[in-house]
C-alpha cells in the first residue's frame, strides 16, 4: 500500500470553477507544501451560462466536457493532481438555478439520493483518508441547489465515513467575514474606472458572508495569488478576470479573495484563534 502524505485535504464542490473562486489560494498553498489535496466536483456544470461569444454554442454535455478541460487546466495552475467527479464523469448533471424546471430532471444532482451520492464520496475518503474536509454551509453559500446538495452529501459522507471507522478530524465551511468583504468592495468601487467592468456586485452576492466572529480560520494565500487568478481564468466559459477582480456571466464585478476564510464546524481547533492552518490541532493532538 502506498504511504499517504502526512497532511490530506479533501474539498467538495458543486461545479468546475467553484473550487478556484472559493479555495484556489488554499489549494495552491497546501499543494505547494506537500499536502495531498483532493477535489471532488459533483457535476460538470452543464447548465452554466457561457461568457465568451465564441463559445456560446456550447451547452449540455458538450459544455460539460469543455468545462472538464477547464477544470484540468485550473488544477494544473494550482498544482493539484488529484481531482475527481463524484461517482465518475457524468454520474450527476447540473441542476440549474433554484426554481427552474431543470431541478426536476431525474439525472440532476438535486434529485440524487443523498445516501447514494454520499456513498460515492465515502469511496474517495476510504482511499485518500483526509483529515480535513471543506465544503459549503447548509444554504450552499448562496442557495444554488447543487451547492446545497453538495453540502448535504459531504456532511452525510462524514457521518458514514465515521461509522465505517474512517473519521475526518475537522470539517470546515467556506466563509467571508463581513468587514473584510466591505473593505474589498470599497476598494473595488475606487478601482472600477480603471477596470474593463462597468458595474459591481454587492457584498450579499458573495457566497458565505457571515459576521466576523463566525470565522475560526484564516489561510493567507497571498503568496499564491498568481496561481489562484490563473486557475480562475482557466474557467473562461464562466469567469473573466482582471487583476484583483472578476465577473461571472452577470457582468457584476467582485473582488478576488486571496486570503481565504473558514468556519470550523466539526472537530477541535488549534490553540490560537483564529487558526492560520487548517490542520491546527491535529498535529497538537497527535
Residues counted in the chain? 286
As a whole number of angstroms, the distance between CA 13 and CA 150 comes to: 6
Judge whether 147 is annotated as a binding position: yes
DSSP conformational letter for 275: B
CA neighbor of 30 nearest in space, from 9, 11, 13, 16: 9
DSSP β-bridge partners for residue 174: 262
As a whole number of angstroms, the distance between CA 237 and CA 156 comes to: 31
Which residues neighbour 4 within 8 Å (Cβ) at sequence distance 6 or greater? Answer: 36, 128, 129
Which residues neighbour 108 within 8 Å (Cβ) at sequence distance 6 or greater? Answer: 43, 92, 93, 94, 95, 96, 102
Judge whether 151 is annotated as a binding position: no
As a whole number of angstroms, the distance between CA 92 and CA 80 comes to: 23
As a whole number of angstroms, the distance between CA 29 and CA 237 comes to: 25
As a whole number of angstroms, the distance between CA 248 and CA 238 comes to: 6
Judge whether 15 is annotated as a binding position: yes
Known binding site: residues? Answer: 15, 18, 147
Q: Annotated binding site for Zn(2+): which residue ranges?
A: 15, 18, 147
Amino acid at each position: 500500500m502506498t504511504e499517504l502524505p502526512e497532511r490530506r485535504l479533501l474539498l467538495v464542490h458543486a461545479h468546475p470553477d467553484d473550487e478556484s473562486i472559493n479555495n484556489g489560494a488554499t489549494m495552491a498553498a497546501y499543494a505547494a507544501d506537500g499536502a495531498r489535496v483532493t477535489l471532488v466536483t459533483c457535476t460538470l456544470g452543464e447548465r452554466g451560462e457561457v461568457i465568451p461569444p465564441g463559445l456560446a454554442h456550447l451547452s449540455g454535455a458538450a459544455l460539460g466536457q469543455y468545462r472538464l478541460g477547464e477544470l484540468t487546466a485550473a488544477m494544473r495552475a494550482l498544482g493539484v493532481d488529484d481531482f475527481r467527479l463524484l461517482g465518475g464523469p457524468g454520474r450527476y448533471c447540473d441542476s440549474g438555478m433554484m426554481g427552474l424546471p431543470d431541478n426536476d430532471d431525474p439525472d440532476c444532482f438535486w434529485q440524487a439520493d443523498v445516501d447514494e451520492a454520499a456513498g460515492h464520496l465515502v469511496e474517495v475518503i476510504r482511499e485518500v483518508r483526509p483529515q480535513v474536509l471543506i465544503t459549503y454551509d447548509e444554504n450552499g453559500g448562496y442557495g444554488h441547489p447543487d451547492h446545497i446538495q453538495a453540502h448535504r452529501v459531504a456532511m452525510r459522507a462524514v457521518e458514514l465515513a465515521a461509522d465505517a471507522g474512517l473519521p475526518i478530524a475537522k470539517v470546515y465551511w467556506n466563509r467571508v467575514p463581513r468587514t473584510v468583504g466591505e473593505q474589498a468592495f470599497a476598494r473595488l468601487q475606487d478601482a472600477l474606472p480603471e477596470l474593463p467592468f462597468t458595474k459591481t456586485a454587492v457584498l450579499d452576492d458573495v457566497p458565505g458572508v457571515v459576521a466576523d466572529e463566525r470565522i475560526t480560520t484564516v489561510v493567507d494565500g497571498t503568496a499564491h495569488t498568481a496561481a489562484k487568478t490563473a486557475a480562475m481564468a482557466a474557467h473562461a466559459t464562466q469567469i473573466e478576470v482582471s487583476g484583483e477582480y472578476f465577473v461571472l456571466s452577470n457582468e457584476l464585478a467582485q473582488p478576488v479573495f486571496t486570503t481565504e476564510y473558514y468556519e470550523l464546524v466539526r472537530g477541535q481547533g488549534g490553540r490560537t484563534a483564529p487558526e492560520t492552518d487548517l490542520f491546527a490541532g491535529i498535529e497538537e493532538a497527535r
